[in-house]
Amino acid sequence: MSIQQSCWIGSNFRWSCGVGDLLEDLNRGPRAGRCSRCFYLRTIRTAPSLRHMALDTFDTAIRSAVRERRAKIEAHFASPVVYYQGPIVHGVHHILREILEVIRRNDSRDRLVMVVNTMGGTIETVEKMVEITRYHYREVSFIVPDQAMSAGTVLCMSGNKIYMDYASSLGPIDPQVPNKENNLVPAMGYLNQVEKMIEKSKKGELSQAEVVILSQLDLGTLASYENARELAIDLLKRWLVEHKFQDWHTHRTHPEKMNQPVTLEEKVERAEEIARKLSDVQIWHSHSRPIGRAKLRKELRLEIDDYPTDDGVADAIRGYNDLLVEFCRTKNLPFWWDHSADQVP
């Protein structure tokens, strides 16, 4: 099945590419989502006569089951729900803007729940997604049914609350950046290896192969990697203080400060500690290493909320995600949006 027919966003939008060959790239399979010439994605509004051509691929039974589970989540949190699965790449924020504007036309509530399943992406796109979301909503909660890695972790840190299952994972902060071949590479892992080689060069321990590698490095590229790293850390610290720590008023675990007021300086200090640990490749060793709920609580002392246990909400969250993951897998779709504004029968 052609991606033109199957990969639609919500009910009104589809992906296209600024140079016209993303769709061809998507149809090739495992490199889905990467345009061979650029990362700049744009969205176009589809003609009404074409809209149902895409909806036909989203099987009626599956669509009904997805909406049933989404409705249960909406009812529990008393807020609209937006689901995204896929890479966080340029263009995603345009889709999010369109979806939220549609939702806001009929729903004036000031809170939003975002269900996110992503292996990460570019930190600049995360920044735009948060700007757009916070323009419309005062309170934003993130639900992580499976994983929100790298840039996805930074996105979740912009929330007032993060809900995770015992099997859910966040990841080290290691934003992805395009290299010369337009493939996304983890910035911090790359910089860490360069720093190791620089230290070896100071000691005269470089191998011939490492000398060749260093001689071929582009300083501009390295600078962009460093900028991505610093941006990710700065955003995470700012969003933790502004949003995640918004309701942290008294100390609850520090034995010497129990029940004492939390100062702004202490919030900033905690945010810096969390950012430092999440961005330390020496701690995690791998760009894609999953960091579970228990480890986030114990090692980072980060407040993570459990799934709600009443009225089958936890099962609804799992089922909601599992249905959409399986749908994308069977249709070979690299990304998918689902949202409260999607009420097309």
Distances in Å between the Cα of 31 and the Cα atoms of 15, 43, 329 are 15, 20, 14
What domains are there in the chain, each with its CATH number? Answer: 3-177+222-339 (3.90.226.10)
pTM of the model: 0.76
- Rounded mean pLDDT, 51-78: 77
Please give the mean pLDDT across all residues of the chain: 78
Residue 242 has pLDDT above 90, yes or no: yes
**pLDDT at residue 214, rounded to an integer:** 65
Which tens digits make up the pLDDT trace of 303-334?
Answer: 999 998 888 999 999 999 999 998 888 888 88
| C-beta separation of 185 from 176 below 8 A | yes
- Rounded mean pLDDT, 223-232: 78
Query: In 3-state terms, what secondary structure has residue 68?
Result: helix
Residue 1 has pLDDT above 60, yes or no: no
Which tens digits make up the pLDDT trace of 284-294?
Answer: 766 678 999 99
> In whole angstroms, what is the distance from residue 176 CA to residue 283 CA?
19
Which tens digits make up the pLDDT trace of 94-106?
Answer: 999 999 999 999 9
Residue 29 neighbours by CB under 8 Å, 6+ apart: 332
Tell me which of 199 and 52 has the higher pLDDT. Answer: 199
Question: What confidence category does residue 251 fall into, taking pLDDT thresholds of 50, 70 and 90?
Answer: confident
Residue 45 has pLDDT above 80, yes or no: no
Distance of CA 246 to the CA centre of its chain: 21
Question: What confidence category does residue 166 fall into, taking pLDDT thresholds of 50, 70 and 90?
Answer: very high
Closest C-alpha to 42, from 108, 79, 93: 93
- Rounded mean pLDDT, 145-167: 95
Question: What confidence category does residue 77 fall into, taking pLDDT thresholds of 50, 70 and 90?
Answer: very high
| C-beta separation of 123 from 151 below 8 A | yes
Residue 124 has pLDDT above 80, yes or no: yes
Residue 117 has pLDDT above 80, yes or no: yes
Dig out the tokens for 35 from the structure: 């345009």
| C-beta separation of 32 from 8 below 8 A | no
**pLDDT at residue 39, rounded to an integer:** 29
> In whole angstroms, what is the distance from residue 337 CA to residue 335 CA?
7
Residue 22 has pLDDT above 50, yes or no: no
| C-beta separation of 114 from 74 below 8 A | no
* Least confidently predicted of 46-60, 177-191, 249-263: 46-60
